[in-house]
Amino acid sequence: MTGVITTTEAKCRDCYRCLRACPVQAIGFRTSPEGTQLHARVDDAMCILDGRCVLACPQKAKRVRDDRERVKELLAAEGGAVASIAPSFPGALPLAPEKVPGLVRRLGFRQVHETAAGAFLVANAHLELLREGRCRRPLLTSSCPVIVNILERHHPEVLPFLAPVVSPMVAHARLLRLSDPGARVVFIGPCIAKKREAALFAPDDVAAVLTFRELWDLWEEAGLVRDGEAVAVDEQDFDPPHPGVARLFPLDGGLLRSAGLPTDFLSGEVAVVTGLEQCFDLIRELARGGPGLSGLQAVEMLACEHGCVGGPKAIAGDDVLARRQRVLAYHGSRADGTSAPAPSPVPLGQSYRDRRPDLTVPDEATIRAILARVGKTSPADELNCGACGYDSCRAKAIAVYQGYAELEMCIPYMRAKAESVSSLVLDALPSGVVVVDRELRLLEINAAARRMFASGKDGPGVGDHISRLTDPAPFRAARSRRAAVSGRVDHRERGLVTQQTVFYVSEHDIVVGIFTDVTREEREREQAEAVRSATIARAQEVMDKQMKVAQEIAGLLGETTAETKVLLTKLIRVIREASPPSE
């Protein structure tokens, strides 16, 4: 059976934030099929359903089981459904409380009741246990399903202190079905854990559970709420019975007040503990035998800060104390504020059992072997940084053994591994690479750059200014222009010529220089250029000489030709003059 909270793997980004938020480490990780990411999975057997992982997930990858379709089926079926609304609703919903009954009826519910009527019965049951002495002291209240989950699944040794009484949700559903046996009751509240509680402890009494988030979504689907405001709806009252002072039940101290128990917390006989951290502190104290709890008779325990008004599925986004004030104001405005329903013959007893998962704890040798695989070979190597979500390296090693964690979840180990690999790759590059900060001080210089610039162990290194290695001008230009600067540079003082590219990395505010040694190519090019120049000069010299000779020859030929022409002309004239006249 699918758990109440599941993970949308496509959205899960391998950040471990849900695990860090989970007080019982009920989240395991498995590698994606392509082997590129770790995806979270919620172990329903260990999960206490406090909802912290849902609220903490930055990618909204945690999904709470949605029961809207189930409720729609109930509403459409013959006989319809009856709504039981948790008494935290005035604080949890950003609407006038008097509009809520009408809005719920508009969804098709034939009756709309306040769960606080069941809370009154539960409060009286706790009072009877204390008066009759039929409980172990201090008596822990059993109304919060998250507290029940903690004790059953993680601290069953403390179960004898838990009141064997059902929650107000179950009591109210049984009260409604007492007068209407066919009623299909839908509980509506801010709590995720109620979904499991209904299926586990009251499958015949509670037909479905909606969170206030799901209720709000149904209103929006039906067009009853638009842009955070309710459409025109008459102010209506809830169906009886009216709960009176039990409307304060969702507040810290509400059960004690509803039961008529002392609310003077300084008396030392009663206490109210809200918030998971404080609840765990008390539970651990009881598990040790409770030496510091002498004289304490009853403890009201609520997992959410300030009670149910701090529930994970409240819609109102304001401060919890502001929600608390609205609950107080609503109770004070009711004309039936001092009345209370008469006790009914509703079965309120509940038994609890050890549901702790059977997890094998590895021996010391196995733990040490797992730690060694991530480079932790001595206690000094165990940083216990908590980045993976576990309180200690040993706890994480145990989780690896049990299949909840992977070795790669150790951030310091993976960083050292990545840095080691990157350093090997960087030093293996034939080109020189240097990295400088905004002050142009060296952050990284690879082996090729050290060789290239003759920077041995006594030469410039990390922390030194780039000017000790090369001209800083290209680095300044790359940073100021936010663009790459390329070119060939002759480092004459080092007998070196490089082809270099310098560029700025804005994400880290660093400048990277990549240098390729082209000294040999440059010297060969210079030699070739010298040969070419010498050849051209020699050719030019030969050409000049040839032209001079040609000109001299041409001069001589020109003179001879002219003289020959004169002589031939004279000869022709003489011949003509000597010829006899024609007949």
Q: Which CATH number does the domain 361-428 belong to among 3.40.50, 1.10.15, 1.10.10, 3.10.20?
A: 1.10.15
Query: What is the three-class DSSP state of 540?
Result: helix
**Contact indicator for 254, 260 with CB cutoff of 8 Å:** no
On the 0-12 / 13-18 / 19+ scale of CB atoms within 10 A, 552 is exposed
C-alpha closest to that of 283 among 275, 60, 208: 275
Q: What amino acid is encoded at 138 in this protein?
A: P
pLDDT score recorded for residue 70: 96
Angle in degrees, CA 512, 515, 519, rounded to 5: 165
DSSP state, residue 65? P
Neighbours of 390 (CB within 10 A): 24
SS3 574: helix
Q: Which residues of 460-476 are buried (b: 16+ CB within 10 A; e: fewer)?
A: beeebebeebbebebbe
Cis peptide before 241 (omega within 30 of 0): yes
Amino acid at 405: A
Cβ(346)–Cβ(174) under 8 Å? yes
Separation CA 443–CA 440 (nearest Å): 9
d(CA 374, CA 417) in angstroms, rounded, equals 9
Phi, psi of 56 (to 5 degrees): -85, -25
Beta bridge partners of 39: 30
* CB contact set of 118 (below 8 Å; sequence gap of 6+): 84, 168, 169, 170, 171, 172, 173, 174, 175
Token pair for residue 423? Answer: 């350093």
Q: How far is CA 303 from CA 14, 17, 148, in A?
A: 27, 20, 10
Pairing mode, strands 5-7 and 62-64: antiparallel
Helix (H, G, I), strand (E, B) or coil at 163: coil
Cis bond leading into 250, ω under 30°? no
Q: Return the SS3 of 148.
A: helix
pLDDT of 339 = 45
What's the pLDDT at 338? 41
> In tens digits, what is the pLDDT along the chain, a chain of 583 residues?
578 999 998 888 878 899 999 999 999 988 776 666 788 899 999 999 999 999 999 999 999 999 999 999 999 999 899 999 999 999 999 999 999 999 999 999 999 999 999 999 999 999 989 888 878 889 999 999 999 999 999 999 999 999 999 999 999 999 999 989 999 999 999 999 999 999 999 999 999 999 999 999 999 999 998 887 888 788 899 999 888 888 999 998 888 888 777 666 666 788 899 999 999 999 999 998 877 788 888 999 999 999 999 999 999 878 889 999 999 999 988 866 444 445 557 899 999 999 999 999 999 999 999 988 888 888 888 888 888 888 899 999 999 999 888 888 888 877 776 666 667 777 778 888 999 998 998 888 888 888 888 765 566 777 889 988 888 999 999 999 998 999 988 887 778 888 999 999 988 889 999 999 888 887 777 777 777 777 777 777 777 777 787 677 766 666 666 666 666 677 677 676 665 555 4
Pick the CATH number of 429-516 from 3.50.50.60, 3.20.20.480, 3.30.450.20, 3.40.50.10860: 3.30.450.20
